[in-house]
Structure 1
């Protein structure tokens, strides 16, 4: 019983501590087909082709074949890089 209680307390404390850490956006800007997003985070869709990604952030940007950052993973655009892709419809910033 002591071990179960200790594990429960430790698990609860870990969850609270980790939950208190705010999610951080990538620093800088992301330009997707000419639209700039400052300190981006999450998924960005586009309906224009080709997809042009100019990653001016400090983190990687992942390109996906379908809207909503779903479908097939296409490529990663690293910080400071620019990519033109015929198959991308959305990008995800960590």
Structure 2
């Protein structure tokens, strides 16, 4: 019985470690850059992962990462999206709220 508990605990630990490694590996390498207006500095997201709210005046998003970026119309990265491939950019529709990697 004790051996079964040890085996189950070992397997559970391996699954948890694998899950954490996969999460850490999901961050994109590079930058996402957002242009707003000629009078504001670029907003840069280094090695982004997960969901990020876009600045209110976002106008153009450039994907300089190694992963596709999705642009959403709401601030929660939900609903329909537009995909921007690595090395490309896209105009951001007025009111677009977020992007995810």
Is TM > 0.5 for Structure 1 vs Structure 2? yes
Structure 1: give runs of 5+ residues left out of the alignment.
none
Tell me the residue number matched to 1:32.
34
Tell me the residue number matched to 2:82.
75
4+ aligned runs moved over 4 Å, structure 1: none
Structure 2: give runs of 5+ residues left out of the alignment.
36-41
TM-score by length of 2: 0.69
Tell me the residue number matched to 1:61.
69
Structure 1 residue 11 displacement after superposition? 5.5
RMSD: 2.5
**Do the aligned partners of residues 27 and 85 (structure 1) sit closer, same or farther apart at CA in structure 2, a change above 3 Å counting?**
same
TM-score by length of 1: 0.73
Distance 1:81 1:39 in 2: 16
Question: Would you say the 8 A contact 2:77–2:99 is kept in 1?
Answer: yes
Greater share of strand residues, 1 or 2?
1
Tell me the residue number matched to 1:16.
16
